[in-house]
A and B are shown apart, each in its own frame.
Chain A
Amino acid sequence: MNPYLELQQTLTRRHFFQRCQIGLAGAALSGLAGPGLLEAEEDSVSNPLAPKPPHLAAKAKAVIYLHMAGSPSTLDLFDYKPELKKFDGQDCPQDLLEGKRFAFIKGVPKLLGSPFEFKQHGQAGTWMSEILPHLATVADDIAVVRSMKTDHFNHAPAQLFMHTGNSRLGYGSIGSWVTYGLGTENQDLPGFVVLASGGRIPSAGKSVWGSGFLPSVYQGVQCRTQGDPVLYLSDPTGISRSMRRRTLDGLRDMNELQEKKFGDPETLARISQYELAYRMQISVPEVMDISKEPDATHTLYGTEPGKVSFANNCLLARRLIESGVRYVQLFHWGWDHHGSLLREDIRYELPKRAKEVDRPMSALVKDLKQRGLLDETLIVWGGEFGRTPMRENRGGKYGDYIGRDHHPHAFSMWMAGGGIKPGLNYGATDEIGYYAVENPVHVHDLQATILHQLGLDAERLTYLFQGLDQRLIGPAEGPKVVEGLIA
């Protein structure tokens, strides 16, 4: 199978040419009656984003992935380590340092116990620190994975690895794998939407929602909560809505004349894309407008319409999923608490960031649950790696502030919904949280599990590129679905 050829053929073959003429009638009608059956028919033939059946029975239809860019210290959020507290301030044992590379730690650093109090929550007895009071209230709805590990300890490569399965640039992101594998349900919205907050995008740039060697139609579309939600979505200055309709009618008539002359099916494909653009101009601002949500919802999430915030993005994620978007990727920047500056001090800054996300992400779980959407929506939360149980000593010495260095060997993430066991604590680290020792979950395993819940088999999800039927998850052996996480 050559999917590139297949894609081209769906866009060009005679087969489509015939269908599209029906579709055009539909497009002309849609101005009156909205998208209808005729278009669904057209889309299934012409549109690379048309819904496709999964490889396996799917538990989840959609994913909301909450990425905490910069990587929070999960030793201060989830991974309760009384032993680490006991040895706080003592030298890190030599055997944990030998042969290891760190981003900033030099020589022998001291162990660092968490400055925060931990308690168990819910029936599951899930340990969480005091700075996640809202998440504690949904402890029985989520599964905390306490034994994550990755291969990379610098931000950009680790973020790429988390989202593309590869630490180098040029590979598609998991959102693009999913829209490639499953298409999307609402053709008037992008299938893969990205929302960023916290002031910056991830270190690895837009490649973390790119499509790599997959066609660009599968890449994430960044929606913004200020300005045009999608670039060039608004009619330009001087063009009214009615004028836009007139121009599209004129454009369609002219293109049809040209199609008669050249007989090129690409022309018809272009006409239908212009009609879709017109529908997106209405549907995207509608779904992105949270101002009409009831007060109770705003209170639940802590949303303020018009602002750029993680809370607004969580509510938007729910609205997007509800409207049939397949994959929503949130990035919240600002978790890189090294402790070399006041604004990186884990004691003051981690609680601030935690406060920004705690209420909204818990609200998202509650809201999806009460709407009956949690079963079919998979939520994933986490950073790109962990942070050291040792206190960072930048330049080999300690200053006034406290923080932790990058750490690939152990960290926690949480998942909810989409067929993941609720109220679960999966895996464990050693006594000081240095290594994932019980049921370690590698990044590729996490990715394979996300795909599995969506009904996709990581081994079979391939694309012909550079002469190879390449597995999108990467060529490494053995990504395993984590059966223990599945309900």
Chain B
Amino acid sequence: MVAAFTREAPPAPESEGVGESEAAETGTEAEEQAEPPLTYEEAVVQLLNSPRYGERWADMWLDLARYADSKGYEQDGLRTMWPYRDWVIRALNANMPYDRFTVLQLAGDLQPVPTKEQLIATGFHRNTMTNTEAGTDDEEFRDLAVKDRVATTGQVWMGLTFGCAQCHNHKYDPIPQKEFYQLYAFFNQTEDHDQFDDRPTLDLGEDVTALIMRDLVGDERRATNIHERGSFLSKGAEVQPAVLTAFHAAPKAAPPNRLGLAKWIVDKGNPLTARVMVNRLWAKLFGVGLVETEEDFGAQGTPPTHPELLDWLATEFMRLDWDIKAILQTMVTSATYRQASEVTAELADRDPQNRLLARGPRVRLEAGMVRDQALAISGLLSEKMYGPPVMPWQPDGIWQMVNDTLTRWETSAGEDRYRRGLYTLWRRSAPYPSMIAYDAPSREVCTVRRIRTNTPLQALASLNDPVFMEAAQHLALRTLEEAGPATAERARHALQTTLIRPPSDEEVERIVSLHAEAKAELANDSRRARQLLNYDDTLYEEGRLTTLVEDSRGAGAQWRYTTKEPPGNWAHADLDDSEWRTGSGTFGYIEDQKGSNKDIEVVSDWDTEGIWMRIEFDVPPEGLMDYKFEMRYQCAFDAFVNGVPAAHPPQQYDTHTEFPLYTDAVAAIKPGKNVVAVYASRNREKNRGQHIDVGLKALRQPYLGRPTEHDADRAAWVVAANVLLNLDETLTKR
């Protein structure tokens, strides 16, 4: 069957082939090719055995599992789901057969003696969202989670759209509403119930608890009824767990629980499970599935373009005992996959989407891969695997408007900034922005097929995101280090590094001329040249952080304060406050030392209506940037710098919270001595406690180094690298 593929296009040259299948299989292009050159087949085997393999395919699976590090809905607080993510990577790298991979995720807890790993696998269906909004009906959201589990199971394993059968019989596929609720009954016995504590969980030590599935026992078990029109409040006839009658019967030994359902799904008599999976793998490699509607194998989906090939692959997959690596190997070593991806005018006309497979695939890189690729080319990509999610640099304010203001994005340190995209912390209400631009789903619900778009917001992200500029800086530095001194040599080397193929002379010439133009401009702009060469220090705050007024978490700066209203312009820099009292924060009194007040230690008593506080801070001659107050308070207040209003925050915070200074206040700051003045006042009944603690910090200016005669030449390579990282070919798997 494989040999019977149409073969209109010649095979790709060997040097291209290795790069292309590596990109497709592990998510980034090869950095260096091993010596001596591997044959294509050897390279495939090496890639399948690389730890990157599990990461690349886990990324696909995590869309299906709607994996995220937050709970969803209003608060969208964080929770520990990453042990499940790591389980997926490990299972794929260990080449766990797909049937077992399935059974453990759906019913690992129902194994005879479940191991820790098997319990973690059940995190698959704990990825449903929970609503911790006050006043919500837990049963309503538990019901939504169960419906999501039924619909997701149908989509992921059988390419069936159960979702609409929750309200009425499916209009096109043989799924009566009653049978939807029979499937629902399998999932309706788990302990989780949309509560804040996330139970049931598994303790993994070191403060890590994984969310797992566990069935209720005895009297606690629930009856399942049909929900009229899908509403959990309108209960119809009671139903028992049962598989869909339009398909094969459940295996004889299958118990009437999730384990039985899982066994039915992976039974070799199931006509869909293997087809859906091989189609999905095919779609990832070729850009489009043999059945284009990967999510729908039902009557409304698109029919397969090559039905016999799909059947053969599915049969082969089962014959290989559900060996995912083996079936992938079959696909990528096929003549079809190895065809070159050039499009002739005739082919573009006859088959623009390449559905007839007369040429090799050429598919745009998606979301995480776009960034991973830039990091890999520049040499920054970390190979560190597993563990808690990381927070690479992102623009300020992405999380600012999420309704849980206490959780903050703190840029990770060291190599954690450069981890693969799948380790990036994923908050459903505010996901990592450059990945969203490149069509990553929010992971609120199962996403079978990412829809690729082509928008200017993508161009803006990969051109202007400082993370991509940092990668450009490192690609430039790498080029300067690795290539010979001639500009053309450097251009050739940078192109080869980026495209994993020998560049044409024309391409080299264009990069050389771009470099010359950029160099000419930068020769007259030393500051910009040095900025381009020092991106890291511009981007990362650590090391540049300057504490101007220390709050109570440190030594606590000594303030001048009074509780009698001072006359005149008391916030002015030149006021003589030497008669005022001296003390450090926290100021206030605590009525009830528990709850959110538990850890607040008052140093200076304040129990009157108002308090006026002043403190000096020094600014170095070159100035500072990004001034921020850090405050924790239960009162109303106004803050000033040199008499200019600097902050007037709207609500109370019981942990230290950052407030950028108003622009006018920043403008009033000058080198040398400056004064912060704060007026705080009681904003609720007396006797209920009040407190305030204020710190001020800023960043020193980024280090740009001393100008040298080579700056313009070197910085022009950063400009060229910015272009190289944005080439269509760079952003495309081919």
What CA separation (Å) do A5 and B715 show in the bound complex? Answer: 44
Whether a CB of chain B sits under 8 angstroms from the CB of A273 is yes
Which of A6-14, A80-88, A427-435 forms contacts with chain B? A6-14
Interface-centre pick from B466, B650, B723 (highest chain A CB count, 10 A):
B723
Contacting pair B133 A155 (CB below 8 A): yes
List the B residue with the shortest CB-CB distance to A233: B460
The interface residues of chain B, by DSSP majority, are classed as: loop
* Interchain nearest-CB distance for B610 vs A (Å): 18
Contacting pair A169 B133 (CB below 8 A): no
Contacts of B134 in A (CB 8 A): 103-104
Contacting pair B300 A467 (CB below 8 A): yes
Contacts of B343 in A (CB 8 A): 262-264
How many residue pairs link A and B with beta carbons under 8 A? The number is 263
Contacting A at CB under 8 A, from B148-190, are: 155, 161, 163-164, 167, 171-173
Contacting pair A468 B161 (CB below 8 A): yes
Contacts of A280 in B (CB 8 A): 456, 460
Whether a CB of chain B sits under 8 angstroms from the CB of A478 is no
Contacting pair A468 B135 (CB below 8 A): no
Per-residue CB contact flags for chain A residues 366-382 toward chain B (1 = under 8 Å, else 0) read 00000000000000000
* Interchain nearest-CB distance for A378 vs B (Å): 26
Whether a CB of chain B sits under 8 angstroms from the CB of A34 is no
Contacts of B396 in A (CB 8 A): 227
* Interchain nearest-CB distance for B311 vs A (Å): 21
Contact among A206, A238, A276, A467 with B293 in the assembled complex (CB-CB below 8 Å): A467
Whether a CB of chain B sits under 8 angstroms from the CB of A30 is no
Contacting pair A273 B458 (CB below 8 A): yes
List the B residue with the shortest CB-CB distance to A260: B506
Contact among A101, A196, A233, A266 with B362 in the assembled complex (CB-CB below 8 Å): A266
Contacts of B504 in A (CB 8 A): 257
Contacting pair A13 B430 (CB below 8 A): no
Per-residue CB contact flags for chain B residues 289-315 toward chain A (1 = under 8 Å, else 0) read 000110110111110000000000000
Contacting pair B727 A251 (CB below 8 A): yes
Contacts of A155 in B (CB 8 A): 74, 133
* Interchain nearest-CB distance for B356 vs A (Å): 14
What CA separation (Å) do A13 and B359 show in the bound complex? Answer: 16
Contacts of A233 in B (CB 8 A): 460, 464
Contacts of B173 in A (CB 8 A): 467
Q: A266-B362, A467-B299 are in contact. Are A204 and B460 (CB under 8 A)?
A: no
Contacting pair B444 A230 (CB below 8 A): no
Contacts of A210 in B (CB 8 A): 442
Contacts of B433 in A (CB 8 A): 231-232
Contacting A at CB under 8 A, from B118-162, are: 129, 131, 133-137, 144, 155, 161
List the A residue with the shortest CB-CB distance to B396: A227
Task: Number of B interface residues at 8 Å Cβ cutoff, please give it.
Answer: 109
Contacts of B301 in A (CB 8 A): 467
Q: A201-B401, A277-B459 are in contact. Are A468 and B164 (CB under 8 A)?
A: yes
Contacts of B506 in A (CB 8 A): 257
Whether a CB of chain A sits under 8 angstroms from the CB of B517 is yes
What CA separation (Å) do A244 and B684 show in the bound complex? Answer: 54
Q: A204-B73, A250-B723 are in contact. Are A232 and B460 (CB under 8 A)?
A: yes
Contact among B341, B460, B531 with A262 in the assembled complex (CB-CB below 8 Å): B341
Contacting pair B456 A207 (CB below 8 A): no
Q: A12-B352, A466-B164 are in contact. Are A240 and B525 (CB under 8 A)?
A: yes
Contacting pair B72 A199 (CB below 8 A): no
Q: A227-B397, A264-B362, A273-B458 are in contact. Are A169 and B510 (CB under 8 A)?
A: no
Whether a CB of chain B sits under 8 angstroms from the CB of A236 is yes
Contacting pair B345 A263 (CB below 8 A): yes
Whether a CB of chain B sits under 8 angstroms from the CB of A119 is no
List the B residue with the shortest CB-CB distance to A253: B510
* Interchain nearest-CB distance for A415 vs B (Å): 27
Contacts of B403 in A (CB 8 A): 200-201, 203
Contacting pair B521 A242 (CB below 8 A): yes
Contacting pair A104 B728 (CB below 8 A): no
Q: A224-B397, A237-B531, A467-B299 are in contact. Are A265 and B352 (CB under 8 A)?
A: yes
Whether a CB of chain A sits under 8 angstroms from the CB of B719 is yes
Contacting pair A274 B439 (CB below 8 A): no
Contact among B135, B397, B727 with A254 in the assembled complex (CB-CB below 8 Å): B727
List the A residue with the shortest CB-CB distance to B302: A2
Contacts of A243 in B (CB 8 A): 518, 521, 528, 719
List the A residue with the shortest CB-CB distance to B394: A231
Per-residue CB contact flags for chain B residues 498-540 toward chain A (1 = under 8 Å, else 0) read 0000001011001101100110010001001101100100100
Whether a CB of chain B sits under 8 angstroms from the CB of A269 is yes
List the B residue with the shortest CB-CB distance to A306: B663
Whether a CB of chain B sits under 8 angstroms from the CB of A186 is no
Contacting pair A254 B137 (CB below 8 A): no
Whether a CB of chain B sits under 8 angstroms from the CB of A286 is no
Told that A239-B532, A280-B456, A467-B296 touch, could you supply 17 new A-B pairs with CB distance under 8 A? A12-B352, A101-B137, A103-B136, A156-B133, A203-B74, A204-B74, A207-B444, A239-B722, A243-B521, A243-B528, A250-B720, A254-B723, A261-B342, A262-B343, A263-B342, A266-B454, A466-B300
Q: Which residues of B contact A (CB under 8 A)?
A: 72-74, 76, 129, 131, 133-137, 144, 155, 161, 163-164, 167, 171-173, 292-293, 295-296, 298-302, 341-345, 347-349, 352-353, 362, 364, 395-397, 401-403, 405, 428-430, 433-434, 436-437, 439, 442, 444-445, 451, 453-461, 463-466, 469, 504, 506-507, 510-511, 513-514, 517-518, 521, 525, 528-529, 531-532, 535, 538, 650-651, 663, 683-684, 715, 718-720, 722-723, 726-729, 731-732, 734
20 contacts between A and B (CB under 8 A): A4-B451, A14-B345, A154-B133, A154-B135, A169-B444, A201-B403, A201-B429, A204-B73, A205-B76, A205-B430, A216-B451, A231-B395, A232-B464, A233-B464, A238-B531, A263-B342, A264-B728, A266-B364, A466-B155, A468-B300
